[in-house]
Structures are given as structure tokens and as C-alpha cells.
Structure 1
Amino acid sequence: MEPLKEMFNLPFYQHFAAIFTDADRNFNTDAFLKDVTENLDKLELNGRLRNTSVTLKKYLSANFNTAIDTLYSAAPKLRRGYTALVLPDFVARYGKEHFDLSIQALKDFTSLGSSEFAIREFLKTDFDKTLKIMQHWAEDKNEHVRRLASEGSRPRLPWSFKMERIIKDPSLTTDILEKLKADEVPYVRKSVANHLNDISKDNPGYMLQLVKTWDGTNAHTRWIIKHASRTLIKKGDQDSLSVFNFEKDVQLHIDNFNISSHHVQLGEGLQIGFAVKSLKDTSQKLVIDYAVHYVKASGEKSKKVFKLKELTLLPGQITQISKRQLFKDMTTRKHYAGTHAIDIIINGKVFGSIEFDLIV
């Protein structure tokens, strides 16, 4: 699989430069291409993104208003997706002294990729003014803009800095979440759920208190609440379990917990199997997960919890569970040799653990 950083390669830059040449007759295509690709091999994905916007600045007008006009002219012809984040990154880096113009540009450019990282730069420098605008965005007709209101203000947005002010006071974004709690678009709802899940990591009581006031009979809202509660449920948080009527007093036994091999080669899969037997005379609503304790480069362990299934176990019932886990390097995870472990987790409690060696 080609590394994600190769989204920014020579063919991309040739296409990119041609678009900006059409948008600005003074754009020096050859010089830009030479400059932007000079140290490309040394840069990873986000480094290439930032290098593109920094290099672009050298070849656009020094007048920010004129440069923004060029971005608007180029925008419709650019490829949608992650590489289009060059536009909001440019605005965030060079447009802070032009607040109104820049905020409007971020709103307009977010449909091409996302302005979620860029808007945080404005929250950092002018929190109250920016958040007020984002509260209005939560009511926008455009689903990408509505999502930006939620995603851009997440307390712990991956690949970005933490929003310490929101971590300390999660009520600051409640107005946005309230407006989006039953959004028709899954893309928006997922952001709201992730925002709430962020809150649950620092302020679980506040998050649960908020969602308990929401109409759980609405299918969209209920999905958000369920997805938002995943971290708390995996931890066995009693309040979050009660929201979905998961059994608090779990009484069961794990039988025949086994794995297909105790020596796994990188690139291979590991088959996991076990049986769950009820020891209770009433039904038990269960959420069954498993955790892999990965070996890190330092030799320490890092636990990652994966969802398996949800079910209602009847009195005395036995159900068989199986899952294949693949151990393969990805852009989001590199594997290291050593003794790993797999836990079976039911309603937040560990009911079994097996170790195995990963060979790299």
C-alpha cells in the first residue's frame, strides 16, 4: 500500500501548479515546482501539507486579499480531499490579521476537504469571537459547515493541539452540540459523537448529564449518544452502562478461550475464540469487546480496545464468539516484536487474557 504522504507527489504538484497558473498569470510554475519538491522525500504527510502552503505563499501576491482571490479562483479545480487542506492551512498561517476575510474563506473551503485544523488557530488567538461564529455555523444549510462547527471545536481533535479551555469547561461547546444532536447527515452526527467522546475522557459526568437530557427515542440522537459513550462503556463506567441498560452485575463464565497460535508472524492473522455462558437467572444485556496489548518501540505495552458485538444473554444460555485479528503494519500502527496479550472484556470487565509472541 502506498504511503499516505504520496498524495503530495510530483504529479499532484504538476496538476496543482497548472491550476494556480490559470488563476494567477504571475505565478511562476517552474520555480514553484522546483521549490516545493526540493526536500519532498524528507517530509511526512503533514510536513508536506505545511510545506505546500508555505511554498505557495512565496509565489502568490504579498497582498493577502489578492492571494485569497487566487485561492478562490483555484479552489473549484482542485482535487477534493486531504490535499485540499492546503487552502485552509494557508489561511490559518497567513490570515490571522484579516479575521473576517479568513473566517469566511475557511467556511467556504471546508467543503473541499475540511477547515477543522485551521479554525483552531483562530480559536487559539480569538476564542470568544471565533466560537460565536461557529455557533452560527451549527445552523448552516451546508452539512460541511455544520460539521466544521463540531469538529473544529473538539477538545481533543486528533492530529491537532488540545483545546484546554474547552477541556476545563465543556459547557462552552454545548450550544453547538445541542443544535446538531439530531442532524440528518451521518457525517455530522459522527463528529458530534466524537466531540462528546472527547468530553467523556476529561469530564464524563458532564457528558452523561448532557446526553441524558436528550430525546433518546430519536434514532439520530440515540446513535450519537451510543457512539459517544464508547470509551466509557469499554471502561465499564456504570452510569454509561445504565444509559443503554447494559447489565451492571454481570454474572457469566468464559469457556474455551483460545487463540489459533501463540507465535504470530507479522502480516498474519490470529483467530480468537471463546464461549460465553450465563450464570444468572435473568437476562443480561452485554457489550463484548477485546483488547490487544501491543508492544511499543520502547518495549512498554499499549492497550487498544476493539468492539466485538452486543447481545442479550438469556438465563443459562451459551453463545460462541470468534474473531480474526490481523497483525499488519499500517500508517496508523507499526508493530514491534515481543510478547503481546489479548483480553476479553464484557461490560468493561476483563474475563480472560492470553499472551502470544509477535514475530517481526
Structure 2
Amino acid sequence: MGVMNELINPGVVGSLERILAAASPGRRFPHLAGTAGQLDGLGLRGRTDLLSAAMLTDLPGDYPAAAAVFRRALKDPDFTGWMIWPVSESAATLALARRVPGDFEDCLSLLAELTPRLTGEFAIRRLLAADLDRALAVIQRWTTHPDWQVRRLASEGTRAYLPWAIRVPGLTARPAATLPILDALYRDPVEDVRRSVANHLNDLARHAPDQVVATAARWLAEPDANTARVVRHGLRTLVKNAHPGALELLGFAPASLAVTAPRLDRTVVELPGDLGFDFDVANTGPAEARIAVDYVVHYAKANGVLADKVFKLGIAVLGPGESRTFSKRHAFRQMTTRVHHPGDHALQPQVNGVRYPAAGFTVLT
């Protein structure tokens, strides 16, 4: 995260101070300028909060006046990049503080104006948490916006499990609330928008799997050239988790298969290291079989208990009697998102949601 933290650095602070001062003649931003020397040791979110708090001290105290400064700043092409995140957070803070009619909706409009410079998907979460229905009524209109980045914001900003963003309880409690947005965007002409829709659908699958499968089935009944790909990506977690409806919808019907235990290229992996493996899948039935081939790594936790994670390997169609070998190298590296512990592990094939015999190995740190 060190490199990510530097996305907001003293140079960014200096540029933001200059731009805001030019957008509000006669006003100085001393607290914002002072943050340039306070960034060390802070993560990206911490730096964002620091700049936002400083701006709130320097800016006019009411939302409309501050929003006017930000809109004038948009005339400067240098008003872009990661400096926008603290700006959007400041706007949300002011809009929510006054509870004056019109500020809430105008702040959403301002985030839509800012999002082509840097996505407003993080600040928008606070507005969603404050009044979900009121926010969604505005956001739904963005699905026909001429700027694809605003359309993407409609989907990305309302994801249940948006990375880096605060959770909005209403989005998990009411999974159907955002489906009208996805229905309007799954055939969007821009790949980035469709990718957001698929990721949004995949988020919903964590707590509303049957609703997600039903939605995907509706889309496949009225598809365009990209719908099948959107659905595959949106159902990826359900396929990994062997959800029967998702497997059936994607054509992975139960099949007569013979799957060998994995052949490992070593039984001991020293960190950092790799484990090579392969296994065979044979169609032993009389009909063609479409298969989703995954593999499961059973990781040893600190207490010695195994925790499994499914990884995609491939999709294939096997004729009657046909066999195919699947292989890969799996990396073991210490990461912030996964800490490896020494001990006994296992690797297991999974085909069309069914798990087959595993092979064990040991990880040494």
C-alpha cells in the first residue's frame, strides 16, 4: 500500500490548494496547505480524511457556497486525480450536516460532475447510508446519462461490498433495491460499465443467491452480444460455491465424470514458492459434457484448522469418452490480503461444483 498512499502527496496538496484558491478569490487555505507536512505515516484513506478536515476548516461553512467553489474549480483541467476524493468527502459532510432541502440531491449531482475526474463511489456511500431511497431515486436517473463514467458510478457506487468503501447496511438488507439500476445497465455499450454491473451482481450473490440467479435468467432471456459474458462474470462466485441454479443456467449440468487426484510437483513448498499440479477429467457418460473446472486450496490457519478457497481453472466441453488434463502453478506469497501459515495443506479438484479426491502438501515459512 506504500505506493498507493503516495497518490496523495505534498505535490497533490499544493496543486489542490492553488486550484481552490483560484476558484474562490480572496480566500486562503492555510489548513489545507499545512497538511503537506502531516502525510507521513498515513494510509491513503487517512490522507483523504486529513485533507477533507482541513478543507472543511478553510471553506465556507455552508454546503451551497462550498459546492460553488468546487464547481468553479472544475474549469481547471488540473483539478483531477486523487485530490478529488477528499473534495467529494468534504461535499458529502457539508450536505449531510445542514439537512437543508435540496443539499442532498445537489451533492449527488456534484458527485456525478466530479466522477469523470475521479470516481465519486466512496463519498456517495455516506449519502446512501443516510437515506437509501432518496439517493437511489437520483442515482437511477444516471443510468441514461451521456457520460459512461456517471453510468458506471450508478452501479459501482451502490455495490454491496465495494472495495475500500464503507458498508451501507441497507444495500445488504434490501438486495432488490439496486436491481433496477443493473437492469438498466447490463446491456450498456461500454465494457467498464458492464464489468461494474457483473461485479455488483456478484456482490449480491453473497446474500441473495436465488435472486441473483433469477435476475441473470431474465437477462439471458433478453440478451445482446455481451450478456452471456456479463452473466458468467456475475455468477462466478455462485459457480465456485456450486450453486445448482447458477450451474444449470450456465449450462454446467450434472455429468458422469472421472477426475483423478492432483499430481503435485512437490510435497513441500517453502515460502515464497510455487506449487505445480495437474489432474485429468474424463467424460464417462454417453452425452457431451460442458464442465467448469476449478481447484480448491485448503490453507492452514494459525490454529491449524484448514480454510478453503476456490480458484478458477477453465471451462471445457468433453465429448463422450473424451479426457483432458488441466494444469497450473499456484503461487504462495505473503500478502496483506493473505497470510500463509506453516503446516499441512491440501489441493482438490472441483468440477461442475463437485469436489474430488485431494492431494496433501506442506508449507514451510
Pairwise same-fold verdict (TM > 0.5): yes
Q: In the TM superposition, what whole-angstrom CA distance separates every residue of 1:268-289 from its partner, at most 9, and x where no partner exists? A: 3222222222222222110111
3-state SS of paired residue (1:233) = helix
3-state SS of paired residue (1:7) = coil
The match for 1:226 is: 232
Is 1:11 matched with 2:11?
Answer: yes
Q: Distance in 2 between matches of 1:338 and 1:4?
A: 33
**Cα offset, 1:324, TM superposition:** 1.6
> In the alignment, residue 346 of structure 1 is paired with which amino acid?
V
> Which shows bigger deviation, 52-61 or 229-238?
52-61
> In the alignment, residue 47 of structure 2 is paired with which amino acid?
R
3-state SS of paired residue (1:66) = helix
**Cα offset, 1:220, TM superposition:** 1.9
Is 1:129 matched with 2:128?
Answer: no
> In the alignment, residue 173 of structure 1 is paired with which amino acid?
T
**Cα offset, 1:246, TM superposition:** 0.8
The match for 2:90 is: 90
> In the alignment, residue 4 of structure 2 is paired with which amino acid?
L
3-state SS of paired residue (1:275) = strand
**Cα offset, 1:101, TM superposition:** 2.5
Q: Distance in 2 between matches of 1:342 and 1:83?
A: 44
**Cα offset, 1:217, TM superposition:** 4.3
Q: Distance in 2 between matches of 1:300 and 1:182?
A: 44
Q: Which runs of 4+ in 1 moved over 6 A?
A: none
Q: Do the aligned partners of residues 263 and 37 (structure 1) sit closer, same or farther apart at CA in structure 2, a change above 3 Å counting?
A: farther
> Which shows bigger deviation, 335-344 or 286-295?
335-344
Q: Do the aligned partners of residues 114 and 271 (structure 1) sit closer, same or farther apart at CA in structure 2, a change above 3 Å counting?
A: same
> In the alignment, residue 34 of structure 2 is paired with which amino acid?
K
Is 1:253 matched with 2:256?
Answer: no
Q: In the TM superposition, what whole-angstrom CA distance separates every residue of 1:128-156 from its partner, at most 9, and x where no partner exists? A: 22111111111111111111111222233
Q: In the TM superposition, what whole-angstrom CA distance separates every residue of 1:23-43 from its partner, at most 9, and x where no partner exists? A: 3455656653433542x3332
Is 1:308 matched with 2:307?
Answer: no
Equivalent position to 2:185, from 180, 183, 192: 180
Answer whether contact 1:238 1:248 (CA < 8 A) is retained.
no
1:25-44 mapped onto 2 (5 Å cutoff): 25-26=25-26, 28=28, 32-38=32-38, 40-44=39-43
Answer whether contact 1:20 1:74 (CA < 8 A) is retained.
yes
> In the alignment, residue 249 of structure 1 is paired with which amino acid?
A
TM-score by length of 2: 0.87
> Which shows bigger deviation, 344-353 or 163-172?
163-172
**Cα offset, 1:334, TM superposition:** 4.0
- Structure 1 regions of 5+ residues with no counterpart? none
**Cα offset, 1:242, TM superposition:** 1.1
Q: Do the aligned partners of residues 115 and 318 (structure 1) sit closer, same or farther apart at CA in structure 2, a change above 3 Å counting?
A: same
Equivalent position to 1:346, from 330, 342, 351: 351
Answer whether contact 1:290 1:305 (CA < 8 A) is retained.
yes
Is 1:358 matched with 2:363?
Answer: yes
Q: Distance in 2 between matches of 1:83 and 1:265?
A: 42
Q: Do the aligned partners of residues 269 and 6 (structure 1) sit closer, same or farther apart at CA in structure 2, a change above 3 Å counting?
A: farther
**Cα offset, 1:298, TM superposition:** 6.3
> In the alignment, residue 249 of structure 2 is paired with which amino acid?
V
Q: In the TM superposition, what whole-angstrom CA distance separates every residue of 1:141-177 from its partner, at most 9, and x where no partner exists? A: 1111111111222233233344433433333222212
**Cα offset, 1:104, TM superposition:** 1.3
- Structure 2 regions of 5+ residues with no counterpart? none
The match for 2:78 is: 77
> Which shows bigger deviation, 202-211 or 67-76?
67-76
The match for 1:326 is: 331
3-state SS of paired residue (1:326) = strand
3-state SS of paired residue (1:242) = helix
**Cα offset, 1:15, TM superposition:** 3.5
Q: Do the aligned partners of residues 348 and 178 (structure 1) sit closer, same or farther apart at CA in structure 2, a change above 3 Å counting?
A: same
Q: Do the aligned partners of residues 319 and 109 (structure 1) sit closer, same or farther apart at CA in structure 2, a change above 3 Å counting?
A: same
